[in-house]
Chain A
């Protein structure tokens, strides 16, 4: 009896965890990140709302200061660019012309203040850097996230 009670409690905890993940997690996961266009299109951007933005790092936009570990760059979705500021250590794969997802909030100056940078890589693996666009897949072709 004690054993089955223990498992019942465990079962309820697992069930609660599953429901929490499905309801809470999936809602966030489905619109995992917004694009620079979507972010710019928003009327009143609240400065304290936690956001995730994805795009390609604009070539020539990356300015880094390795003394203070500060990074200034722009993310683009092909039509709109959005300025980003980051202080810290970005992942090794973070570089110009590649896909990245940033987490943070929009500052008063309209610059995205990133607290985390994530680098997105392609599904292609090769010993040769053949100049292929490593994250052309940063948005799926049949994107249903915002529909």
Chain B
């Protein structure tokens, strides 16, 4: 077992190093190379943190969705560990998005926060997955906790298309998407150098995400092994 874990640990280390490198280059590009926005000035650079962060959170909740669905279907522990791990890291990146967005909103919009549809639904997103994590520790029976969490993990994901469509369906203070706009490619919204900074930063966030996920998944696996061994020994 120790032999099998070694190459995984090594490639995880490489992943972490790559993540650090990409984030460093992304930061340099975003803070130094990319030009400031004509209207917003330097503060617009918060975008290089805010946007990759929420896209990473979306991906994470997608994995919660997949893991939850697989767990309800096959009842395999590994899918539950995946969903649980992804939910934890998703909450981290959602909180980061809201904090960065708030700091961006204060000088540009004039407010730290406002209850428009997009912001409200994002706050709900954070609450859903915080609730997901609490629900897991709330129910003592483990497989029942996993099943209940899986149901919430699937339903909760529906909030993401709502967040995406909110700026089209309702009047909001938040602007429409720059990258994920259906009829307009990103390069028509964002200057090439700014777009490059965004892309590198997003790549760095993705690498960091999979590094964290792999660590957290391993932790989940180890917890299961300890539990199984305790059961064997009848402790």
- A residues in contact (CB < 8 Å) with B: 4, 7-8, 10-11, 14-15, 17-18, 21-22, 25-26, 28-33, 54, 90-94, 101, 116-130, 134, 137-145
A26 and B117 contact, CB distance less than 8 A: yes
Q: Does B231 contact A (CB under 8 A)?
A: no
Partner of B167, one of A91, A92, A140: A140
- B residues in contact (CB < 8 Å) with A: 35-41, 44, 47, 107-111, 114-117, 119-121, 123-124, 127-128, 130-131, 134-135, 137-138, 140, 167-173, 175-178, 181, 189-191, 194
B110 and A124 contact, CB distance less than 8 A: no
A14 — nearest CB in chain B belongs to which residue?
Answer: B131
Q: Which residues of B are found within 8 Å of A129, using beta-carbon distances?
A: 38-39
- Minimum C-beta distance from A11 to chain B (A): 5
B40 and A116 contact, CB distance less than 8 A: no
B120 and A26 contact, CB distance less than 8 A: yes
- Minimum C-beta distance from B97 to chain A (A): 16
B175 and A123 contact, CB distance less than 8 A: yes
B189 and A101 contact, CB distance less than 8 A: no
- Minimum C-beta distance from B37 to chain A (A): 5
A134 and B173 contact, CB distance less than 8 A: no
A99–B115 alpha-carbon span in the complex (Å): 18
B38 and A121 contact, CB distance less than 8 A: no
A123–B130 alpha-carbon span in the complex (Å): 30
Q: Which residues of B are found within 8 Å of A139, using beta-carbon distances?
A: 171
A101–B114 alpha-carbon span in the complex (Å): 11
Partner of A29, one of B116, B128, B194: B116
